Structure 1
Amino acid sequence: MHKEQPRCEEVIEAPLYTLHGMWCTSCALAVEGVLKRLVGVSEVSVHYPTATVWIKGVPDAIRLAVLAPHVAKIGYRLTALEAVGDAHARLEQESRYLSLRLIVGSVFGMWTMLASLLIYAGALPSVQIESVVAWISGAFALPVVLYAGLPFYRAGWRTLLAKRPGMDVLVSLGVIGALVVSAGLLWRGSVEVYFDTAVMLIVLLLVGRLVETFCRQRGLRAFDSLALPSVEVTVWQHRQPVTLPVEEIALGAQIDVAPGETIPLDGTLETSGWIDTATLSGESVPRFFAKGQQVYAGCRYLGGEAPLRLRVTAPVGQRRVDKLCEQMRRFQAQKGELQTLAERFAAWLSPAALVLGVLTLPAALLFGVGWEEATVRALSVLVVACPCAVGLAVPLASLAGSGQAMQQGVALRDPAALEILANVRAIAFDKTGTLTRGQHSVLHAVLRHPKDQADFQQMLCSAVRQSEHPLAYGLLRWATNPENYANDKVAQLEQLEEYPGKGQRMTFTNGEQWSLGSAALVGAQLEQQGQDLPECAQDPTYDFASQVVVADSQGWLATLYLADQPVSDAQATIQQLQTSGYGLAMISGDRQGPVTWLGQQVGLPKEACYAQRSPEAKAKLLTALPSPTLYVGDGVNDTLSLAAAGVGVAPMQASEAAREGAAAQLLTPGVGGVVRLLSIAKRTRRAMVQNLAFSALYNTLALGLVVVMAIPPLVAVLAMAASSLSVTLNAARLAWAETDEVNDSPALAPNAPH
């Protein structure tokens, strides 16, 4: 029966919650089952490795105050999303909790195993001594069963309450069954007891849990680079500087950052200065930020004598780094196709194993098997069927892959992104701001008197220093070195006349007059003086570039050609993708000339470069490429294409709209992160498929084998533990990979200088 959903209420996505008290993936499925049955809840995903709960539904049904009591009824605790530091502390506590129980299990279990080994080997001189040793074996097993195994029984009971029995039910029944069978055999005078089975089952599962916890801790390290410390900040209140904790700084406040300090909050600059963005972006070269530009928390102010002043646009919790962390955790909390498949398999495997275990006993007796052997076979079925490996197969690989992507400079948001990325066939790039830097630079300059270039550059610096035109920044970078930005020895502007969209006419303090702008504007002004632009002022070789013409009272003075240069790793990235066999395209709304020129610079053939495309035309062209497709774009006009693509990727400097519409965001300058992301996705999906195939094959074959032939419970325990450990280590291998094969090229390395 389907639950009735409230009508006429908007379904929304709740903030992420943290679930405390989980012991394994069965706990996650149990809580998920409880929440799914609630009226008003449409989608739920409980992610065990990160202990997070993602939920969608009507607003009143998905509030924390409504959900928490339902979760508490089965023994768990639901809270607001914990900070990354708290998650580390929780996992540290879990590690100590597991270590203590593992120590108890190992110390006492060692004597149980030794006693069992002596009995199995026939090394004892008499039956009476064997009986005593068997009782000793049981005595040493009690601390292991009653203390070290307690978390399994608790989790098993909780999943039963949730009507979603999982592997902990099987483990608990296996341990209890081993004890009951052993006690019955001892009562009858037999010494072939199975206390060692119960001990090994608990100890090996504890070892697996501990390794798994270390792997989860490793996955959390991806967030450490984004976590900013709590610091004291100088804030201006009533024109007086006051020192307050960064958490208390409100939106719109004015704060100061001293030279050498890390910028604690996102904001708009009210003074200018040089800023090192390497902490957040990986860009090795500091950048000059002018007044009015946006800066982000995590960057470091290098700048001069005076403090950097900014107006806060995002307080703690709303900063760009905070949103990246939340987006990554939201991605991890949701499930892709393979993980959903694994959980469906595990969901029917546990009940099937319970039924099979119950039926094995009477079936064996009907076929003439003795009571003792029939009981042992039923016990082996319960032990070998534990779907530990199935439950861990996909989430651990996904966690490792997303963590590796973050460490390589890519933040993932979409739960299915890794699985889709592994199968991508075609990749399309936007031009401006994606394959290019989004800032024009001077390609070529022709001067009336080339020997006077130094004097011309100083005058040009004064002319364009205060301009906000996009080309002015390129002229300024060409005209002067950083240390000369405040050079007062050259002539300064005295009067400025603007011609919107065309150029400027200006007068300097030394009396010189300049016209600066398009060839049409400057040419028209020269005609008024009875002069013409000379032939050398126009170079057809640079028709694709933006042209700035300068004239003075004597006539034409200079022509400068500017173009938006490709990012430093564009050519290497395109070459690597072409070698890997991807279909590539560049789709831009820019003119054909600049698009073709950029294609030549980065190595794209002319037929792969599409110019003058509207946002709708971009998306239509993208859908015609072989799918699945990947689109990389940074602007508002790219949002439609980002949505139309199988996976959308936003570059580091992308607009807010593009970042929201993309499944992944590059955290380093350039587009080299695309190559790293694709390689990580392939390795992650490969690990997912390997884990899922092996765990499913193991459980299917093991169940069939243990039913038709007698397998000692201890062997079943070892087989079950080996399968779980192999899945965990395979995921850990992915997480602990130091470098990716694509990083052999320095141009593609995440921390390479740009």
Structure 2
Amino acid sequence: MALSASPLLEGEELSSLEPAHSVVLMVEGMRCASCAIAVEARLKRQANVSDAAVNFAADIAMISWQDKKPDINQLKRAVARLGYQLHTSIDPKRSAEQALKMRKQLQLRLAVAVVFGMWSMMPAILLYLAPFGTVEPEFMWPLALASGLFAFPVLVYSASHFYRVGWRTFIAGSPGLDSLITLAVWAAVIISCWRLYQGSAHVYFDAAVMLITFQLVARLLDTSVRRRASEVVRRYLQDMPARVQVLDEHGNESTLAIEEVTLGQRIRLNSAQQLALDGVVETGSGQADLSLLTGEHEPQMLNEGDELLAGCTLIEGCVTLIVTATQGERRIDRLSQSISRVLSKKTALQQLTDRIARWLIPTILIAGGLAIALSLFQGLNITQALGRAVAVLIVSCPCALSLAIPLVITMGHARMINNGIILRDPAALETAADSKVVVFDKTGTLTTDTPSVSRVIPTYKWTEPRLLQLAASIMQDSVHPVAKGLHAYFITNTASAVPALNDSGERQSLAGLGTQWHSAQGLALAGRATWLAQQGVDIPKVSEGGMQLHLSLAGEYAGCIEFEETLRPEAVSVLRTLQARDYAIYLLSGDTAQACSAIASRLNIPSAQVLAERSPEQKHRFIEALERKTKVCFVGDGLNDGLALAAAGLGIAVGQANSATGLAAAIYLPNGIEQVPTSLRLAKRARKLMYENLFWALAYNGCVIPMAIIGWIHPVIAAVAMSLSSLCVLLNSARMQGETPYREET
């Protein structure tokens, strides 16, 4: 299969990166997806708000408007009435601390529910066996009371979260699962207490405890995976230097925290240091590694007036910069904010579950009312009618529905780990089944960061081994990529056996030009052809293109070594496998057109599907434009890919991707792209099982609710039946772990 050429998308990819009228805010205090539903519903009702999307996993809300901007203070007050806090600044650290605190609270609540729930079930079991003569009639009421007393800590402490969130979603006008749980639990408790007051031993405390325990398990499974998304922004910025060297008006140097630096101040950046703030070069020169933000493989020369962004590293030289963007306004900050916007968007599966929750609750309440009416019509008393309604509420409580997605994620995560695949964002997996296009970044994804020697061109007085050895001797202490390439060449080739030149003498690296070595044989030079010519070396006419290293010794030209990017060993076989499965392959990179075309030709990627010299924002816009036509999987490595990875239907980060990229992607492959085909297959399998679980959970409710209405299901049996539905979902999800993908052809 092949899609139309990329020019069709060129106009579309120039669309705005962000909505014209929108803002991303942080929501503090959310504990589950129902909290997000309540906050979202409340925000949508506020003046001038055209739309709102709240993401529980990332603790963020995106507010959109048409003409007049909403009053942020009014939005804060509206959210505060629900018990949450709205912040204009995103604080990932606070979000991470809140996630950890919430997880510990859930674990404690579950521990209390399990311990006291078991004690509550013990007298309940004896009551079930009473018709068989195992319990004397005079002991039945005390056993029922004991069941209620043991259930008390579970009902008061373990379930308190469900009551609080259920009330908040109710008053917000969007009652969800927590509202239904609250209703079912308190209906069971009130009827049980009333029956105890009447002297009856027919109570339902055990059913309420089972309901609470199962829901806590589901909530803990869900948060254990999904809350990792809140780490994206925090990890995106955590590796930036915290302090910089600042120069005052007299040239005196001091070290300040980046929060204390203001616009226009002068900072110094030395060799091998990473820049913490955006700036413009005032004095000095050097070579910078821009790959984290641009994907550009080859180091770039810096001169006065050039812009250098936070996250870039100075390889050689020393420069003084004037700060043009402080913390919070840097290019890297804008990228993290854009990722927050992307994370706030809801996927199709999330929208589907929201719709299910909206119509399921009124349906269940109507079913409970029908059960009461039918009971009274059949001549039952009000207590018996209410008991039947409780059975309807318990049996229809969608535990299986709430477990449907987290169980597949948990099972699939273990299965993927066994294949060297790390699941990061399960919400994106649902698009895998429809993916038709795989877009690859180049640098660090299809290629390594060490160039390879492609051709050695010595002059007639030199041999290839001697020229290589001269180059290795000159570049002995260099950190330039070609020095790494030479080192790799000598490790894998017999040329390393050539006797080394005398390595004594001083070496000096001139940023952007080359390296000179005062050897015993004379001055040796390695660098650009133009620089050697400026040093008086007579160089034959050469065409400079790509990565070349020209060498001379004692004023005599020795030859040239050409380098090319090194393909990952598995790149050819992986792309061949994907193409055989009818995926269209695109190459999207920040590197030069010449470098991208060279790699594309080696991998059989059509030239019309090669896009070079793209910034992170342009990558994002291209992915968005392509997504409007078909489902896209983007495979990348590096900070400059984070935005595209988050925007793609399925993002896969590979290789030694930094922590931000790995978390912005749905899947992380630490060992390279070899497992990309397997990842796609497992992701498709996971998405299929998610939909199967949703179907069976809803089908279960469709079967048992009518049975409960006509009185065929006792409340206790309803609790058992509810657990059986969860067991069915569990067994179906276990198929994910047993799925063995066939071995990819090499």
Match of 1:120 in 2: 128
Instruction: Establish whether residue 71 from structure 1 lines up as the match of residue 79 from structure 2.
Output: yes
Distance 1:389 1:228 in 2: 38
Secondary structure class of the residue paired with 2:517: coil
Alpha carbons of structure 1 residues 107 and 452: separation in structure 2 relative to 1, 3 Å: closer
Residue range with higher mean Cα deviation, 592-601 or 328-337: 592-601
Secondary structure class of the residue paired with 1:41: coil
Question: 1:25, 1:391 within 8 Å by CA — same for their partners in 2?
Answer: no
Distance 1:95 1:315 in 2: 35
Alpha carbons of structure 1 residues 333 and 732: separation in structure 2 relative to 1, 3 Å: farther
Residue range with higher mean Cα deviation, 67-76 or 17-26: 17-26
Match of 2:602 in 1: 601
Secondary structure class of the residue paired with 1:695: helix
Note the C-alpha offset of 1:652.
4.0
Match of 1:135 in 2: 145
Alpha carbons of structure 1 residues 446 and 110: separation in structure 2 relative to 1, 3 Å: closer
Residue range with higher mean Cα deviation, 379-388 or 100-109: 100-109
1:297-352 superposed Cα distances (whole Å, 9 cap, x missing partner): 67889x89x99977767654456765665455443332111221121111100111
Distance 2:182 2:703 in 1: 22
Instruction: Establish whether residue 242 from structure 1 lines up as the match of residue 221 from structure 2.
Output: no
Residue range with higher mean Cα deviation, 717-726 or 176-185: 717-726
Bigger relative contact order (CA 8 A; separation at least 6) = 2
Alpha carbons of structure 1 residues 227 and 391: separation in structure 2 relative to 1, 3 Å: farther
Match of 1:57 in 2: 65
Secondary structure class of the residue paired with 1:190: coil
Alpha carbons of structure 1 residues 507 and 59: separation in structure 2 relative to 1, 3 Å: same
Unaligned runs of 5+ in 2: 1-17, 491-502, 510-514, 657-671
Match of 2:659 in 1: none
Match of 2:516 in 1: 487
Note the C-alpha offset of 1:32.
1.9
Distance 2:211 2:378 in 1: 29
Alpha carbons of structure 1 residues 320 and 372: separation in structure 2 relative to 1, 3 Å: same
Instruction: Establish whether residue 166 from structure 1 lines up as the match of residue 167 from structure 2.
Output: no
Match of 1:575 in 2: 576
Match of 1:644 in 2: 626
Question: 2:290, 2:300 within 8 Å by CA — same for their partners in 1?
Answer: no
Match of 2:512 in 1: none
Secondary structure class of the residue paired with 1:191: coil
Alpha carbons of structure 1 residues 100 and 264: separation in structure 2 relative to 1, 3 Å: same
Note the C-alpha offset of 1:452.
5.5
Match of 1:514 in 2: 539
1:569-626 superposed Cα distances (whole Å, 9 cap, x missing partner): 5324313324545344779999999999756633x3xxxx544x5xxxx6xxxxxxxx
Question: 2:116, 2:150 within 8 Å by CA — same for their partners in 1?
Answer: yes
- Summarize the alignment of residues 547-566 of structure 1 with structure 2, pairs less than 5 Å apart: 566=567
Question: 1:49, 1:395 within 8 Å by CA — same for their partners in 2?
Answer: no
Alpha carbons of structure 1 residues 586 and 49: separation in structure 2 relative to 1, 3 Å: closer
1:42-93 superposed Cα distances (whole Å, 9 cap, x missing partner): 2222223333322322475445323111222333332245533322221222
| One-letter amino acid matched to 1:382 | L
Alpha carbons of structure 1 residues 83 and 744: separation in structure 2 relative to 1, 3 Å: farther
| One-letter amino acid matched to 1:247 | E
Secondary structure class of the residue paired with 1:692: helix
Let me know the Cα RMSD of the aligned residues: 5.8
| One-letter amino acid matched to 1:364 | S
| One-letter amino acid matched to 2:365 | L
Secondary structure class of the residue paired with 2:516: coil
* 2:374 equivalent among 363, 374, 385: 363
Instruction: Establish whether residue 338 from structure 1 lines up as the match of residue 349 from structure 2.
Output: yes
Note the C-alpha offset of 1:146.
3.4
Secondary structure class of the residue paired with 2:26: strand
Distance 1:288 1:189 in 2: 84
Match of 1:20 in 2: 28
Distance 2:580 2:157 in 1: 58
* 2:187 equivalent among 177, 188, 191: 177
* 1:699 equivalent among 691, 698, 701: 701
Distance 2:226 2:675 in 1: 24
Alpha carbons of structure 1 residues 255 and 587: separation in structure 2 relative to 1, 3 Å: closer
Note the C-alpha offset of 1:385.
2.4
Distance 1:584 1:141 in 2: 58
Residue range with higher mean Cα deviation, 581-590 or 193-202: 581-590
Alpha carbons of structure 1 residues 476 and 357: separation in structure 2 relative to 1, 3 Å: closer
- Summarize the alignment of residues 442-481 of structure 1 with structure 2, pairs less than 5 Å apart: 443-449=454-460, 451=462
Distance 1:435 1:125 in 2: 72
Match of 1:523 in 2: none
Distance 1:400 1:88 in 2: 24
Note the C-alpha offset of 1:449.
1.0
Match of 1:352 in 2: 363
Alpha carbons of structure 1 residues 568 and 28: separation in structure 2 relative to 1, 3 Å: same
Distance 2:28 2:735 in 1: 27
Identity %: 29
Secondary structure class of the residue paired with 2:173: coil
- Summarize the alignment of residues 624-703 of structure 1 with structure 2, pairs less than 5 Å apart: 635=614, 642=623, 643-644=625-626, 646=630, 647=632, 649=634, 651-652=636-637, 663=648, 664=651, 666=653, 668=655, 675=677, 678-679=680-681, 681-703=683-705
Question: 1:116, 1:134 within 8 Å by CA — same for their partners in 2?
Answer: yes
Distance 1:347 1:550 in 2: 73
Alpha carbons of structure 1 residues 713 and 240: separation in structure 2 relative to 1, 3 Å: farther
Question: 1:11, 1:58 within 8 Å by CA — same for their partners in 2?
Answer: no
Distance 1:548 1:23 in 2: 58
- Summarize the alignment of residues 195-214 of structure 1 with structure 2, pairs less than 5 Å apart: 195-214=205-224
Distance 1:295 1:672 in 2: 34
Match of 1:532 in 2: none
Secondary structure class of the residue paired with 1:45: strand
| One-letter amino acid matched to 1:163 | G
Instruction: Establish whether residue 145 from structure 1 lines up as the match of residue 155 from structure 2.
Output: yes
Instruction: Establish whether residue 187 from structure 1 lines up as the match of residue 193 from structure 2.
Output: no
Unaligned runs of 5+ in 1: 1-9, 465-471, 497-502, 520-543, 619-630, 748-754
| Pairs aligned (count) | 666
Question: 1:517, 1:548 within 8 Å by CA — same for their partners in 2?
Answer: no
Distance 1:366 1:376 in 2: 15
Question: 1:587, 1:610 within 8 Å by CA — same for their partners in 2?
Answer: no
Distance 1:315 1:742 in 2: 51
Distance 1:571 1:394 in 2: 35
Secondary structure class of the residue paired with 2:155: helix
Question: 1:651, 1:671 within 8 Å by CA — same for their partners in 2?
Answer: no
Match of 2:14 in 1: none
- Summarize the alignment of residues 296-335 of structure 1 with structure 2, pairs less than 5 Å apart: 315-317=326-328, 326-335=337-346
Match of 2:52 in 1: 44
Distance 2:20 2:455 in 1: 54
Secondary structure class of the residue paired with 2:193: helix
Residue range with higher mean Cα deviation, 702-711 or 719-728: 719-728
Secondary structure class of the residue paired with 1:517: coil
Note the C-alpha offset of 1:171.
1.9
Note the C-alpha offset of 1:133.
3.0
Match of 1:717 in 2: 719
Distance 2:192 2:643 in 1: 64
Match of 2:662 in 1: none
Note the C-alpha offset of 1:396.
8.7
| One-letter amino acid matched to 2:701 | N
Secondary structure class of the residue paired with 2:175: coil
Note the C-alpha offset of 1:362.
0.9
Note the C-alpha offset of 1:674.
5.6
Note the C-alpha offset of 1:294.
8.4
Residue range with higher mean Cα deviation, 645-654 or 198-207: 645-654
Question: 1:181, 1:375 within 8 Å by CA — same for their partners in 2?
Answer: yes
Match of 2:15 in 1: none
TM-score (norm 1): 0.69
TM-score (norm 2): 0.70
Secondary structure class of the residue paired with 1:22: coil
